[in-house]
Amino acid sequence: MAKASVAFLGLGIMGSGMANRLLGAGFPLTVYNRNAEKAQPLAAAGAKIAATPRAAAAGADFVISMLADDVAARAVWLGAEGALAGAKPGTVLIECSTVSQDWVKELAAAAKQENCPLLDAPVTGTKPHAASGELTFLVGGEAAVLEKARPVLAVMSKAILHVGPNGTSVLLKLLNNFLCAVHAVSFAEALALIENSPLDRAQALDFLLNGNPGSPIVKTMAARMTERTYVPNFSMKLMAKDLGYSIALGKSHSVNLAMVERASEVMQQAIASGLGEKDFSAVAEYVRKK
């Protein structure tokens, strides 16, 4: 049986790995990226390159986007040359970007008008997980639509979690990200204190990382911060964007996210110092110099 055709929009750090997984699994793939040069490796492997999101979506059974933020997502999905204008009725739309709940609601309403079901499906994992098909998808939308999309999502993932209706997956993803950010900032401060104290750094870190504070994210941050290697698996500017969405979401639910606001403030300062394109663990370099 022929596999469903997929349009993939956005070939950044995560999107390129995800699109490669689809192509490797034999899905007919059309890709769109604002910078067309990033699509060339996929084209060499058999993907079609579309000049616009609308052209990419035309005739596709599934349209997937993996973009930086609300602004980028809106530009790709909506408008005369947007993917929604090219999608035929019944096409399953899958928004994998980490975006705001407000945008998901807006896209869901627009998709409904075109008779296209929407899944909001942000992922957890970084560049290596995207390349190896070991992402976790957090999915909001109708269960029946998820079942239809499951074969597509499965080749990119190790797990698929149905969270609830549209918008719920975004809430869970932002919770995940802001907890990671708060851990990163607090560990950066702990590391700076260790390095400016009489403590033996190796001994102190061994105690902390093998004790109660030694969560997976803290261990990851410790390795990057001590080795001072900040190749972006998840850039600081994107994490800062997610913290902004999280703070707004907290306000909409009458919850004051004080620790998130502090982490956001530190990361914004780190970005202003020139660290925005580096991995978010590079916040340690800003804290060290304060």
Name which of 159, 153, 133 is nearest 64 in CA terms: 153
Tell me the CA distances in angstroms from 62 to 23, 95, 104, 114, 147, one per residue in order. 14, 11, 17, 14, 13
Residue 290, pLDDT > 90, answer no
Does residue 173 carry a catalytic annotation? yes
Residue 2: predicted pLDDT: 80
Which of 173, 237, 241, 278 is catalytic? The answer is: 173
Q: pLDDT for 156-176, tens place per residue?
A: 999 999 999 999 999 999 999
Share of the chain above pLDDT 70, in %: 100
Residue 1, pLDDT > 80, answer no
Mean pLDDT of 208-217: 97
pTM for the model: 0.94
Q: pLDDT for 16-45, tens place per residue?
A: 999 999 999 999 999 999 999 999 999 999
Mean pLDDT of 79-83: 96
CATH entry, 6-165, from 3.40.50.1100, 3.30.70.20, 3.40.605.10, 3.40.50.720: 3.40.50.720
Domain spans in the chain, listed from the N-terminal domain onward: 6-165, 171-289
CATH says 171-289 is which class? Answer: mainly alpha
